[in-house]
Amino acid sequence: MKRKFTIKSLISIKKKSTNLWQLLQKLTRVFYVVLGVWLIFTTITLVFASSQPVDAFFVLGGSIRRETYVAQQAKQYPQTPILISHGSPDPCIRLIFPAELAELQNVWLENCANSTFENFYYSIPILRRWGVHKVMLITSPSHLPRAKWMAQILLGAHGIWVEPEIVQELGIPGNRESWSKTGLDVTRSLFWAILSQIIQPQCSNVTRLTEVDMQAWEHRGFHCEHQGGLTR
């Protein structure tokens, strides 16, 4: 009886394993079909978006010259919203825009990000809420090609076309790019491109530029990067 029970158990286990394997194969096929449809739809969306005008400026923090550049763009395109992801201190950005005779109303500061990956992590939900289809990505040569590739992967996954704008820095930049850093960020961007379709992180520190309290900052004290050429 013990032998019969063992044989029957083995047959049952083998049958369950076969059924599980068949189920996994079906789920895999469904996943590839869904992925294929999504890629086709996203590609069509990107092709259409590429021919449209820029409907948002997206600044990656790291150099005050990037914010000076976007302020100059704001003077020409005052209706286009601007999102600056963890850039210079808030009061420094607040001083840049009047210095460039640019409007402040359409500028938002996202201060949750602490890395290039988090620039996109926290900013994508904001850009999606704005209904953006084409962004001008403002960064510097010292941030390439990593920032460009990450933008094309992460923003492209949401049907947002990326138009890079490279702003030259003065002097020797503080950061250094490496292929190991680039490889790591590009790899996790590929995973997040899929996960971000259902997960929408929310930054609790998003400030409109017009709401920056300059009196409080003057009392607290602040320092602006010398490349900004700001006088206080």
Parallel, antiparallel, or unpaired: how do β-strands 206-208 and 107-110 relate? antiparallel
> Please, what's the b/e burial string for 93-121 (b: 16 or more CB within 10 A of its CB; e: otherwise)?
bbbbbeebebbbebbbbbbbbeebbbbbb
pLDDT tens per residue across all 232 residues of the chain: 445 556 666 666 766 777 777 777 777 777 767 767 767 777 787 888 888 999 999 999 988 999 999 999 999 999 999 999 999 999 999 999 999 999 999 999 999 999 999 999 999 999 999 999 999 999 998 888 999 999 999 999 999 999 999 998 876 555 677 888 899 999 999 999 999 999 999 999 999 999 999 999 999 999 998 877 776 5
pLDDT at 173: 55
pLDDT at 120: 97
Please give the Cα distance from 202 to 196 (Å, whole number): 12
pLDDT at 231: 63
